[in-house]
Amino acid sequence: MADLKAQFEAAVAASKALSERPDNGTLLRIYGLYKQATAGDNTDKKPGFSDMVGRAKWEAWNAVKGASSDEAMQQYIDLIESLN
């Protein structure tokens, strides 16, 4: 577990130093996995249509609902490694 947490923290740092900015879909996937790994299932109220950014982020997080923290961390690590 501690090893996974360390790998996750390294991936978070690496995500801030990517050579190219990922497309919006990938950025939303990164966001959703990060939130799932750190905060668990999304219980926030879905933003309204006027908040398009907030709604997209909510949907990205909600898409990984049910994944354990460890699963989300591993998916996050794998995604960041695939972008480097």
pLDDT at 1: 60
**pLDDT tens across the length of the chain (84 residues):** 679 999 999 999 999 999 999 999 999 999 999 999 999 999 999 999 999 999 999 999 999 999 999 999 999 999 999 998
Please say whether the beta carbons of 14 and 76 come within 8 A.
Answer: no
Task: Name all contacts of 15-22 with Cβ < 8 Å and 24+ positions apart.
Answer: 15/80, 15/83, 18/80, 18/83, 18/84, 19/84, 20/83, 22/83
pTM: 0.92
Domains of the chain listed by start with CATH number: 2-83 (1.20.80.10)
Q: Which pLDDT belongs to residue 84?
A: 82
